[in-house]
């Protein structure tokens, strides 16, 4: 790939970043859908994850709301 002018190390780094930017919000939304929560907390988390995908997903995984948690 070096003959084509493509740096394989940079390509791998970009692949990992893109995978995180797409995968983390997707996994967060799937986890949120599996929980039995509904109403306002569910809507708020979906909006946060969709509006700010990477930071919203990180916030979701740090807070990890349970089904019993009320906002």
Distance CA(9)–CA(32), nearest Å, equals: 34
71 has pLDDT over 60: no
Q: Where are the beta strands (DSSP E) in the chain?
A: none
Average of per-residue pLDDT across 3-8:
72
- 71: helix, strand or coil: coil
Q: Given the structure tokens 């948690």, which residue do they identify?
A: 69
* Lowest pLDDT segment from 4-13, 15-24, 42-51: 4-13
Question: Above pLDDT 90, what percent of the chain?
Answer: 48
Give, in degrees to the nearest 5, the angle at Cα 20 between 55 and 3. 135
Confidence tier at 68 by pLDDT (50, 70, 90): low
């Amino acid at each position: 790939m070096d003959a084509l002018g493509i740096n394989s190390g940079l390509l791998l780094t970009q692949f990992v970043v893109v995978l995180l930017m797409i995968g983390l919000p997707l996994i967060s939304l799937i986890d949120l859908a599996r929980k039995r929560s509904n109403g306002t907390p569910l809507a708020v988390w979906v909006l946060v994850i969709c509006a700010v995908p990477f930071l919203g997903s990180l916030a979701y995984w740090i807070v990890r709301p349970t089904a019993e948690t009320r906002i």
